Amino acid sequence: MPSGGCTGAVRSPPATYPQPSHCCSVPASARSPRVDGALLLYAHSGDNAAPYGTGRSIGSGWASFRHVTVADVTGDGKADILGVASDGTLLLYAHSGDNAAPYGTGRQVGTGWAGFSHVTAADVTGDDKADVVTVSPDGSLRVYAHGGDNAAPYSGGAVLGSGWQGFDRVMATDATGDGKADIVGTHPDGSLYLYTHSGDDTAPYGTGRLIGSGWNTLA
């Protein structure tokens, strides 16, 4: 089982971890790691009809992560990045506050995260700090609630579901707009399911409902 928040010290990542570099003056609103490790930012244009134009590189060296997820961990309204390194280390790249160079040095906030099939972050509990949702190969769903301390945010996970092993993609996000993250997931057959947050943090995700098909055509 993973342990979180065991070290609060700020440190530079080892050479094997990504050490992002920055170059662009763009607001943070969309990010994507590429196969070659480039971190690209597609800033929302302000036009919902054509929100994402050309991406710009805001970092490199991100290819070695097992999982990368973007959410506001620190509660300042700017998205941070959580990465699970190949050795299971959980690293937090907190937004610096400077949109021109948002992500500097990562800080270790946990170990033992290598064994998950899916790692996604969003605010499940509604306190404006992102929690981490994981799926294990045995299908168990865990929520690691942010404890309130940004230096050691994730101290332990609670098993809050089972039977999630059939999904090939799992993403936590507030689809319904109530301030508590829901979960959307796809099956390899392309079916898209939505699990809405029940309002009860101890049993947030009950029965999902089918809300789409054909999602297996996406890369």
In terms of CB distance, is 118 or 146 closer to Ca ion? 146
Minimum distance from residue 78 beta carbon to Ca ion (Å): 4
Contact with Ca ion (CB under 5 A) among 26, 76, 160, 194: 76
Closest CA to 201 of 144, 116, 140, 151: 144
Minimum distance from residue 215 beta carbon to Ca ion (Å): 27
Total site size for Ca ion, rule CB under 5 A: 12
Minimum distance from residue 96 beta carbon to Ca ion (Å): 10
Residue 5: DSSP 8-state:
S
Contact with Ca ion (CB under 5 A) among 22, 67, 107, 129: 129
Per rule CB under 5 A, is residue 197 in the interface with Ca ion? no
* Distances in whole angstroms, Cα of residue 142 to Cα of each of 3, 55, 66, 183: 13, 33, 18, 12
Per rule CB under 5 A, is residue 182 in the interface with Ca ion? no
In terms of CB distance, is 145 or 170 closer to Ca ion? 145
Burial classification of residue 168, based on how many CB atoms lie within 10 Å of its CB (0-12 exposed, 13-18 middle, 19 or more buried): middle
Near Ca ion in 45-74, by CB under 5 A? 72, 74
Beta strand 118-122 pairing with 131-135: antiparallel
- Give the sign of the dihedral formed by CA 82, CA 112, CA 142, CA 116: positive
Near Ca ion in 108-127, by CB under 5 A? 123, 125, 127
The token duo for 11 is 């440190």
- Beta-bridge partners for 59: 39
User: Applying CB under 5 A, which part among 23-31, 84-92, 139-147, 200-208 lies near Ca ion?
Assistant: 139-147
- Give the sign of the dihedral formed by CA 93, CA 96, CA 102, CA 103: negative
Q: Which residues bind Ca ion (CB under 5 A)?
A: 72, 74, 76, 78, 80, 95, 123, 125, 127, 129, 131, 146
